[in-house]
Structure 1
């Protein structure tokens, strides 16, 4: 039954072995309105992970970010908040989309990951977000 619980909120990946994912791990113990999540970066050169707290307003801001991406704009998600930030640049330094993960508050590390997305990647992420919100948000307010 656990495999039907939507866990993967973000998955930027390509055939070159580059990926950035955000995975929901579950409700945060002791924090009824918070989800535990993690950002995982994997490339042939560098790999790492960082913990992330998700709550309804962060999921809603990801929805707004996806709308801006769909309109052709670069986005910053969770910028200027405690914890890591994710930036999506539609035309990065290598003339392809890239994801930048910053963890200034803890490790002070920034990782830039180029990726070649499939044609429907924004619609795919909108669907991922809907599934995560439909399942998890009612549990956060319970």
Structure 2
């Protein structure tokens, strides 16, 4: 990964553990609108990296996910926990957010290995504003279509 062109889209951290998504380059991977990205888990227990593809539509999904989380729509009326997948679960790896205290972020490699890693994160209250800022920076650097 070229440090000069890498863009950190998501950084979920609590001081001890980090789950991040970094676009590997500002240029589409092989097809217009598809960007190579790395999901990276860093902790004292496990360190892992998973290459995925992120689309411009996925950036919109991330903005919508932040809206839902901020509005506390992840908790259904009956009091259970609701989950949110980003990018939407499919043929590639993805993150699953579980609204709990602390948040739990699962990293899924599906369907390749079907391995998943669960990372509890006590992120505090400012993480959503920071996430929106990172998203804005990435969109600005990718251009007007982002």
TM over 0.5: yes
Matched residue count: 135
Structure 1 unaligned blocks of 5 or more: none
| Structure-2 change in CA distance of 1:54 and 1:137 (3 Å) | farther
Structure 2 unaligned blocks of 5 or more: 75-82
Say whether the 8 Å CA contact 2:54–2:87 is kept in structure 1.
no
Higher relative contact order (CA 8 A, sep 6+): 1
The TM-score, its normalising length taken from structure 1, stands at 0.84
In 2, Cα distance between equivalents of 1:3 and 1:64:
28
The TM-score, its normalising length taken from structure 2, stands at 0.82
Alignment RMSD? 2.2
SS in 1 for 2:95: strand
SS in 1 for 2:45: coil
In 1, Cα distance between equivalents of 2:57 and 2:145:
14
Q: How does 1:26-45 map to 2 (within 5 A)?
A: 26=25, 27-45=27-45
SS in 2 for 1:32: coil
SS in 2 for 1:130: helix
